[in-house]
């Protein structure tokens, strides 16, 4: 814990990495590119999981679990999927170690070579659609609405804690439908679920849109996404929902008998969010004094710190703090009362500020006399004195208020950093300042690629809510019907 780390302005990237490590969220492991998610970080992830899992179940989905391993041959079955996915991955080739003859330890037993290599899942469409073949015969078996919480591995060369790691945790929904319309509806429904989660739980505004052809998921007909803006002006893709058409059903021969008694291939979707959301959450709200967590995802929502000089005072404070804690917990608020005598109040204040605890309550002997406490907000750093009598209700409201405030602050930031530009010069200038750029594009992959090569900007999405507007492509001058969203991205 401490402030010996750079400000965002000094070095945003280092600020992020130091914050993740010093706030005990995660650290690099002994295995290249793989992280250890520490208890405090994992507690935030558990809160995310609980909220998302409930939303998935409320929309009719069930959880299941499919194997970690995928036979190599499965990747060759869906042509565009193999191009996009099967290359950089962890490959299991052997199943036994033996003692090294020189006594130096263990070595791979060459006699235990697998007939067919197994790939650690980078995503599970192939193994799941292979399985669905046995589950789906008739329209009565549809829709099949399944989600999986799992670890996946993509052998990334450059990794950053939470944002890009070789192994990460995620959920992947895989659904099967009788019609194209139902599958598209599902794709959009899950995008809405992610949007709701990002905005209302993470307090992070997102743009809803659809990816261009070249940014689509490998094997999808359409990839929908939510895009968030980080404080350094870079975009972050926070969730995707794919309409897969009949591609995987055809690759794995999954047919069903429809109501008319005819055979047809099944329509598919898949959708996922990952521990990458932890990176988004950290970067969306935190400041130069450390983490800032929205109350809905904070493992500790309220911390109570006693200020005392002797044991008698502490005993009196303990009684009051226990009562306050009990009343807050009654309202479903997670409270920590930190009366450790190994650390001073000032150290504790700094610690919980750094860890992003939304509300701090300090209570000392004079407060006891007055029937008051001092309440400090992490988001604005404001302090106020409150009466103990109606404290619980005020804290409940304060937590709601902080949640709203974080959202509004992030929204204002995004609005201030979203620009409409009409020339390539202006485009490049604004890009360097950071933010979302709304610009006309001629709709070709060539132009998109050229802009990317020249500026490192990608089309984050074609916004779902955008209006038709005639214009000229910033790069080619060719006609365009709509602005798309460009940004440099994580």
* Contact residues for 315 (Cβ-Cβ < 8 A; gap 6+): none
Could you say whether residue 326 binds a copy of itself (CB under 8 A)? Answer: no
> Residue 179 CB, nearest distance to a copy of itself (Å)?
19
Q: Tally Cβ neighbours within 10 Å of residue 123.
A: 22
Which 154-183 positions form the footprint of a copy of itself (CB under 8 A)?
Answer: 155, 167, 169
Could you say whether residue 486 binds a copy of itself (CB under 8 A)? Answer: no
Could you tell me how many residues of this chain bind a copy of itself (CB under 8 A)? 65
> Residue 237 CB, nearest distance to a copy of itself (Å)?
22
Could you say whether residue 94 binds a copy of itself (CB under 8 A)? Answer: yes
For a copy of itself, the closer CB: 124 or 195: 124
For a copy of itself, the binding residue among 20, 52, 120, 229 (CB under 8 A) is 120
> Residue 398 CB, nearest distance to a copy of itself (Å)?
26
Secondary element (H or E) of residue 229: strand 222-229
Q: Is 198 left (phi over 0), alpha (psi -120 to 50) or beta?
A: alpha
* Contact residues for 401 (Cβ-Cβ < 8 A; gap 6+): none
Which 304-323 positions form the footprint of a copy of itself (CB under 8 A)?
Answer: none
Alpha-carbon distance 261 to 472, whole Å?
Answer: 50
> Residue 338 CB, nearest distance to a copy of itself (Å)?
14
> Cis peptide before 143, with omega less than 30 degrees from 0?
yes
Site track 14-53 with a copy of itself (rule: CB under 8 A), x = hit: -------------x-xxx--xxxxxx--xx-xx-------
> Residue 241 CB, nearest distance to a copy of itself (Å)?
20
> Residue 18 CB, nearest distance to a copy of itself (Å)?
16
* Contact residues for 435 (Cβ-Cβ < 8 A; gap 6+): 229, 233, 414, 416, 417, 418, 419, 487
For a copy of itself, the binding residue among 263, 310, 342, 465 (CB under 8 A) is 342
For 10, the token pair is: 């000094």
For a copy of itself, the closer CB: 135 or 315: 135
For a copy of itself, the binding residue among 1, 8, 55, 71 (CB under 8 A) is 71
For 63, the token pair is: 């959880």
Q: Looking at 97-105, 215-223, 286-294, 302-310, which segment touches a copy of itself (CB under 8 A)?
A: 97-105
For a copy of itself, the closer CB: 8 or 72: 72
For a copy of itself, the closer CB: 46 or 322: 46
> Residue 77 CB, nearest distance to a copy of itself (Å)?
9
> Residue 147 CB, nearest distance to a copy of itself (Å)?
9
Q: Looking at 8-16, 79-87, 314-322, 459-467, which segment touches a copy of itself (CB under 8 A)?
A: 79-87
Q: What separation, in Å, do the N-terminal and C-terminal C-alpha atoms of the chain show?
A: 27
Phi and psi of 487, rounded to 5°?
Answer: -170, 160
For a copy of itself, the closer CB: 96 or 450: 96
Which 124-143 positions form the footprint of a copy of itself (CB under 8 A)?
Answer: 127, 130-131, 134, 140
Q: What 3-state DSSP class applies to 221?
A: coil
For a copy of itself, the binding residue among 16, 56, 66, 248 (CB under 8 A) is 66
Could you say whether residue 92 binds a copy of itself (CB under 8 A)? Answer: yes
Alpha-carbon distance 425 to 457, whole Å?
Answer: 14
> Residue 53 CB, nearest distance to a copy of itself (Å)?
9
Closest CA to 344 of 389, 309, 382: 309
* Contact residues for 13 (Cβ-Cβ < 8 A; gap 6+): none
For a copy of itself, the closer CB: 42 or 441: 42
For 44, the token pair is: 């935030």
For a copy of itself, the closer CB: 97 or 393: 97
* DSSP secondary structure letters along 115-159: EEEEEEPSS-HHHHHHHHHHH-SBGGG--EEEEEEEEEE---SS-
Q: Looking at 93-101, 227-235, 331-339, 410-418, which segment touches a copy of itself (CB under 8 A)?
A: 93-101
> Residue 314 CB, nearest distance to a copy of itself (Å)?
19
Could you say whether residue 73 binds a copy of itself (CB under 8 A)? Answer: yes
For a copy of itself, the closer CB: 94 or 456: 94
Burial class (CB in 10 A: 0-12, 13-18, 19+), 265: middle
Q: What 3-state DSSP class applies to 451?
A: helix
Look at the chain and count its residues.
490
Q: What 3-state DSSP class applies to 28?
A: strand
* Contact residues for 163 (Cβ-Cβ < 8 A; gap 6+): 236, 276, 279, 490
**Where along the sequence are the contacts to a copy of itself (CB under 8 A)?**
27, 29-31, 34-39, 42-43, 45-46, 62-76, 82, 86-98, 104-108, 117-120, 127, 130-131, 134, 140, 146, 150-151, 153, 155, 167, 169, 342
């Amino acid at each position: 814990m401490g402030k010996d780390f750079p400000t965002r302005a000094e070095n945003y990237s280092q600020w992020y990495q130091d914050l993740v490590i010093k706030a005990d969220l995660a650290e690099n492991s002994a295995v290249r590119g793989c992280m250890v998610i520490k208890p405090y970080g994992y507690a935030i992830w558990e809160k995310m999981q609980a909220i998302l899992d409930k939303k998935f179940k409320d929309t009719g989905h069930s959880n299941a679990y499919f194997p970690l391993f995928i036979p190599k041959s499965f990747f060759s079955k869906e042509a565009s999927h193999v191009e996009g996915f099967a290359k950089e991955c962890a490959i299991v080739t052997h199943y036994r170690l033996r003692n090294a003859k020189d006594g130096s330890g263990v070595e791979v037993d060459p006699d235990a070579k697998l007939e067919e290599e197994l790939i650690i899942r980078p995503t599970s469409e192939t193994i799941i659609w292979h399985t669905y073949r046995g589950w789906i015969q008739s329209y009565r078996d549809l829709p099949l609405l399944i989600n999986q919480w799992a670890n996946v591995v993509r052998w990334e060369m450059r990794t950053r804690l939470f944002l890009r790691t070789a192994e990460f945790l995620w959920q992947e929904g895989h659904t099967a439908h009788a019609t194209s319309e139902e599958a598209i509806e599902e794709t959009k429904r899950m995008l809405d679920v992610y949007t709701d989660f990002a905005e209302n739980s993470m307090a992070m505004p997102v743009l809803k849109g659809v990816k261009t052809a070249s940014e689509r998921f490998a094997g999808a007909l359409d990839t929908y996404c939510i895009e968030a803006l980080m404080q350094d002006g870079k975009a972050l893709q926070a969730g995707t929902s794919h309409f897969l058409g009949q591609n995987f059903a055809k690759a794995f021969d999954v047919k069903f008998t429809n109501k008319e008694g005819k055979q047809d291939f099944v329509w598919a979707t898949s959708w996922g969010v990952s521990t990458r959301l932890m990176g988004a959450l950290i970067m969306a709200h935190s400041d130069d004094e450390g983490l800032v967590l929205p109350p809905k995802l904070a493992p500790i929502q309220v911390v109570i710190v006693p200020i005392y000089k002797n044991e008698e005072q502490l005993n009196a404070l303990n009684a009051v703090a226990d009562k306050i804690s009990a009343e807050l917990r009654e309202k479903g608020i997670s409270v920590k009362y930190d009366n450790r005598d190994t650390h001073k109040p000032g150290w504790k204040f700094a610690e919980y500020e750094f860890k992003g605890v939304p509300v701090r309550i300090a209570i000392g002997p004079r407060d006891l006399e007055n029937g008051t406490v001092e309440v400090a907000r992490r988001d604005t750093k404001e302090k106020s004195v409150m009466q103990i009598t109606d404290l619980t209700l005020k804290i409940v409201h304060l937590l709601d208020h902080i949640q709203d405030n974080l959202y509004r602050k992030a929204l204002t930031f995004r609005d201030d950093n979203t620009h409409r530009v009409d020339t390539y010069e202006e485009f490049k200038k604004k890009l360097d300042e950071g933010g979302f750029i709304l610009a006309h594009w001629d709709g070709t992959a060539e132009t998109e690629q050229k802009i990317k090569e020249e500026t490192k900007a990608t089309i984050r999405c074609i916004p779902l809510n955008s209006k038709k507007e005639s214009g000229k492509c910033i790069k080619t001058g060719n006609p365009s019907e709509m602005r798309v969203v460009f940004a440099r991205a994580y």
